[in-house]
Chain A
Amino acid sequence: MSLRTEPVTMNVGPIHPSTHGVFRMRVTFDGEEIVDVEPVIGYLHRGSEKLAEERTYTQVVTLTDRMDYVASMTNNQSYILSVEKLAGITPSPRGVWLRMIAAELQRIASHAVANGFLINDLGAWHTPLLYMLREREKILEMFEMLCGARITNSYLRPGGVFMDAPDQFWPALNRFLDEMPNRIDDIERLLTTNEIVLIRTQNVGVLKKDECLNASITGPVLRASGVDWDLRDKNPYDYYDQIEFSRPLGEIGDNHDRFLVRIFEMRESLKILRQCIENIEPGPVRPKEVPFLVRPPKGDSYVPIESPKGELGFYLVSDGGISPFRCHVRAPSLINLTLLREMVLGDKIADLFVTFGSIDVNMGEVDR
C-alpha cells in the first residue's frame, strides 16, 4: 500500500538548539525522510578577512581568536606560522613548545565539545555534554593561567608566545594529565558501547574515502573514513617532527567512527603533551629581535596546520607594509560542509542533526 504524501519544506535554523550556532538549512522532508538539504550560511559573517587588511600583523591575532572560538589557540598557531614564514622569523624554542602545549590542550577541549554536543544531538539531555565540559573547564582555567583569557586567548605572537607560563601552570597541567585518561575511560564506558548510541550512529552519514578527499574534507572526518592524513605527521610544523604519536583511523566513515576517532585523538594529544613537558627547556619565549611591527618582505605564504576541525591555513600576501595585503583563511569547518547534502539524503530527520554534529563545524569559522 502506498500513501500519497507531500514533501514539506522547512527552515531549520538559524535559531535552533542543535545547529551549533546560526547555521540554517532549508530542508525538505517527505514524512520523516529527508529529500533535500540546502545549507544557508553567512549569519555570523563579520568580514574578518577584510578587517585583517587594516590591522598590523600582531593585531590580526585577536581576529583569528574569534573565528573558531572553541579552538582559538590553533587558529593563533596557524596564523603565526604563516606570518613567521612570510617574515622569515625563527621562533625561540620555549615559545614553540609552549604553543604546542596550548594547541594540544585546545585540541582536547575542542574534541570534548564536539563529542559532547554530538551526544547532545542524539538527545542525551546534557549529561555526557556536561561531563565533557567539566574537563574543558580545566583546560580553560589553564589557559587563564597562561594568558589571562579563557576563550579568546590571543596568546601567540610572531616568534613564540607573549608570556611565559606561570609557576602554577605546570602542576595544574600534570594533574590534568593524570586525571584525564580516567575521565576519557568514563566517557567511553558510558557511551561507546551504549546500545542506543550504537544503533543511532552506526552506518549513518557514511562518507567514503574518495568522496572525502575529492571534497577537500580534512581532519577527524577524513581520518574516520580511513585516510591516514594528519598534517602533524605528514607535514610537521613547529616541533611535531620530534614527537611520536599515532593516528586513529576509522574504517567505515560513519558517525560512530567520527565519534571514536575524536575520543582516541584526545588520548593521543595527552601523549603529545607529556612529550612536550619532557622536552621543554628554560629560555626566552620570544626572540628579542622580533619587532612589534612586523614588516615582512613582498611575497605570500600558506602554512596549513592540523586544527581540531581539519586543515586550517592562512594565505597571507604581503606588499611590504605593516598589515597584510590579503589574508585568506582556509576554513576547515566551511569546506567540511561540502558533502552535507550527500551525507543525509534519505536519512530520517533525527539523523540530520547527528550527522551535522559529527562533522563538528563551528559557525564562527564557517562564516568568519
Chain B
Amino acid sequence: MNTVLDSVVFKFIYCMLVSSDECANSFKIIGSGFISEKYAIIGFLITAFFLIFIIVNGALVGVLALIWGERRLVGRFQARLGPNRWGPWGIFTPVADAIKVMFKEDISPTLSDKFVFILAPILMVVPVLMIFAVIPFGEATFLTDLNVGVLFVLAITSTNTLSVLMAGWGSGNRYGIIGGLRAVAMLLSYEIPMALAAVGVILMAGSLSIIQVIESQVIPYAIFQPLGFLTFLIASTAELNRSPFDITEAESELIAGYMTEYSSMKFGLFYLGEFMATIASSAIIVCLFLGGWKGPEILPSHFWFMIKWILMICVFIWFRATFPRLRVDQIMELAWKGLFELTLINILSIAILMLIWPDPSITELWIMTGIKWIVFFVSLWIFGKLLGPKPLQKNGVARKIVLQK
C-alpha cells in the first residue's frame, strides 16, 4: 500500500476520498476526504479501480490512435494518402473499423477446440494491460513501483507465446498450427536476448525497479550502451510479431497465421492486443533506454515521456513499412548466433567498465560511453561479416548482371 502511495496521482485521488493526517499535510488545498481512516481500504480500492479504468480506457484510445496513426504514416511511406474519409484527416476511421469488427459474424470452425479457441484472444489482451501498471508516465505519475518491475515486464510479455500457440492449435487450421509453432520457436528464442539486453541496464542501474532505472540514467542508456539498445529493440520487435519478424502471421505465406480462423471481436481482440503490445513495448523501451520522463526542463516531464513514446512507436511503424520479412531459419540464426552473443558482449563490457570505475563521475561516464561505442562498432562489424549475406562469387568475381550487346 505504501509503495503505491508514492505515486502523486494515486495519492491525490486517494486523499480526496480518505481523511488522514498524511493527506492533510500533503495536499493543503483540497484538504482531506470523507471516508474515515478506519475504512481507508475502501478509499484505496475505489482509487485503484478508478485509475485502472482510466488506464485501460486510455490504452484502448491509444490503440485507436495508433491504428489511425499507423495507417496514415504507412500511407505516407508508401506515397499515398492513407485513410481520409471519416472525420478530419480520417481520425474516425478506427472507430468505424471497431464498429465493423463488432458487428461481424462470429464464426468458430467445427474442427476447433472451443475452449482454447475462445480463451486465446483474451489471453492476448489481459497481460498486455498489466504492463501499464508499472510504466511511469511522468515524474511520480505511475500506478505502482514494483521493486522487480523489469522482471515483471519480461515475465508478462512472455505469456504472449502461450496465447499465440493456443490460437494456432485451437483453431484446427493448418496455417494456424504452422503459425503457432513458428511463434513458439521465435518468441522463446527472442526472450533470451531481450532479457540479457535488459541485464545490461539493470547492472548499471543497480535495481530492477523501473523508476530506479530511469533515475539512474544520467546519459540515456540508448547512448550509453548502444549494443544493448539495438539488441533490445530487435528482440522486442520480434516479441511484438511485427515486420520483419512477422512470420507468425506472415500474410504472404500463411494468410494470417494463427489468426486465420478468427473473426468478429475475437479477431478484434487479437488486433487490440497486438497494437496495445506495441504501445506498451515502446513505453518500456523509453523507460529502460531513453531516459523515461527525463528531459530539459522547458517542458513538463509528462510531455517528454509522450514525445519519446510517440517517436518510439513511429520507429516500429517505420520498420514495418520498410523491411521485407526474414525466413524462419534466418530468424533463429539471428537470435542464437547474433543477438545472444552481442548481448553477452554488452554485459561483459559493462561489467568490466564497472569494475574499473565503480562510482563514475560525469567525465568517466562519457569515457565509458566512448568505449561502449567502439565495442558496438567492432562487434557489429565482426558479426556482420560472419552472418551477413555473402555476395555470391563466380570465378572470383562478384556476381553481376551481364548486358549482352
Chain A residues within CB distance 8 Å of chain B: 8, 10, 16-18, 29, 32, 119-127, 130-131, 134, 194-200, 202-203, 228, 246-252, 257, 260-261, 264, 348-353
Asked whether B402 lies within 8 Å of A350 as measured between CB atoms, the reply is no
Determine, out of B203-211, B241-249, B308-316, B344-352, the stretch whose residues face the partner at the interface: B241-249
B324 interfacial contact with A, CB 8 Å: yes
CB of A248 within 8 A of CB of B403, answer yes
Known: A18-B253, A125-B321. A251 touches B394 (CB 8 A): yes
A119 CA / B405 CA spacing, docked (Å): 29
Whether B324 and A122, one on each chain, are in contact in the complex, defined by CB atoms closer than 8 angstroms, is: yes
Q: In the complex, A122 Cα to B247 Cα: how many Å? A: 11
Alpha-carbon distance A264/B250, docked complex (angstroms): 29
A-contacting residues, B326-370, CB 8 Å: 326-330
Q: Are A122 and B401 in contact (CB under 8 A)?
A: no
Minimum C-beta distance from B186 to chain A (A): 12
Assembly CA distance A247 to B402 (angstroms)? 8
* Binary interface encoding of chain B residues 245-269 relative to chain A, with 1 for a CB under 8 A from any of its CBs, else 0: 0110011111100000000000000
16 contacts between A and B (CB under 8 A): A16-B255, A18-B253, A32-B329, A121-B252, A123-B243, A124-B243, A125-B321, A130-B78, A131-B79, A196-B326, A200-B327, A249-B403, A252-B399, A349-B253, A349-B254, A350-B250
Contacts of B255 in A (CB 8 A): 16-17
Q: Give the shortest distance, in Å, between A191 (CB) and chain B (any CB).
A: 8
- Knowing A247-B403, A248-B401, A350-B253, the reply to whether A194 touches B329 (Cβ < 8 A) is no
Confirm or deny: B325 has a beta carbon within 8 angstroms of a beta carbon on chain A.
Answer: yes
- A-B CB proximity, top 10 nearest: A123-B325, A198-B389, A122-B324, A18-B252, A124-B324, A246-B403, A130-B78, A247-B404, A199-B389, A249-B402
Name the contact of B244 in the complex, choosing from A16, A121, A123, A127 (C-beta under 8 A). Answer: A123
| Whole-angstrom CA separation of A350 from B405 in the bound complex | 36
Whole-angstrom distance between the alpha carbons of A18 and B251 in the complex? 8
Q: Which residue of B lies closest to A244 (CB)?
A: B405
Size of the B side of the interface (Cβ < 8 Å), in residues, is 41
| B400 nearest CB neighbor, chain A only | A251
Chain B positions within 8 Å of A197 at CB level: 324
On chain A, the residues within 8 Å of B252 by CB distance are 17-18, 120-123, 353
The 8 Å CB contact of B174, one of A8, A120, A130, A248, is A8
Take A249-B401, A252-B399, A350-B247 as given contacts and tell me if A134 and B389 are in contact as well, using a CB distance cutoff of 8 Å.
no
Interface membership of B230, Cβ < 8 A: no
Contacts of B399 in A (CB 8 A): 251-252, 257
Asked if residues A196 and B324 are in contact (CB atoms below 8 Å), the reply is yes
Query: What chain A residues lie within 8 Å of B388 (beta carbons)?
Result: 195, 199
- When the two chains form their complex, are residues B401 and A264 in contact, meaning their CB atoms are under 8 A apart? yes
Q: Provide the bound-state CA to CA distance between A134 and B79, in Å.
A: 8
Contact, CB under 8 Å: A248 / B402:
yes
Q: How far is the CB of A240 from chain B (nearest CB, A)?
A: 15
Interface residue from A16, A246, A351 paired with B405 (Cβ < 8 Å): A246
B298 within 8 A of A: no
Shortest beta-carbon distance, B316 to chain A, in Å? 12
Q: Do residues A202 and B325 form an inter-chain contact, with CB atoms below 8 A?
A: no
Contacts of B11 in A (CB 8 A): none
Report Cα–Cα, A290/B320, bound state, in Å.
56
Taken together as a complex, chains A and B put the C-alpha atoms of A288 and B174 apart, in Å, by 62
- Tell me, yes or no, whether B385 is within 8 Å of chain A by CB: no
**B interface residues, Cβ below 8 angstroms from A:** 74, 77-80, 174-175, 178, 182, 243-244, 246-247, 250-255, 320-330, 388-389, 392, 394, 399-405
How many angstroms from the CA of A134 to the CA of B81 in the assembled complex?
Answer: 13
- Beyond A199-B388, A350-B327, A351-B327, list 15 extra A-B contacts (CB 8 Å): A16-B255, A17-B252, A17-B255, A123-B243, A123-B250, A123-B252, A124-B243, A198-B389, A202-B392, A246-B405, A248-B401, A249-B403, A250-B402, A352-B253, A353-B253
- Shortest distance from the beta carbon of B20 to any chain A beta carbon, whole Å: 55
Q: Are B251 and A199 in contact (CB under 8 A)?
A: no
- Contacting residues, chain B, for A10 (C-beta < 8 A): 174-175
Complex CA–CA separation, A352 to B329 (angstroms): 14
Contacts of A348 in B (CB 8 A): 327-329
Q: Is the CB of A264 within 8 A of B403?
A: yes
| A17, A29, A127: most-surrounded residue (chain B CB, <10 A) | A127
Q: A124-B324, A127-B78, A134-B79 are in contact. Are A252 and B402 (CB under 8 A)?
A: no
A16 to B323, CA, bound (A): 22
Inter-subunit contact A203/B403 (CB<8 Å):
no
Measured between alpha carbons, how far is A32 from B401 in the docked complex, in Å? 32
Residues of B within 8 A of A130 (CB): 78-80
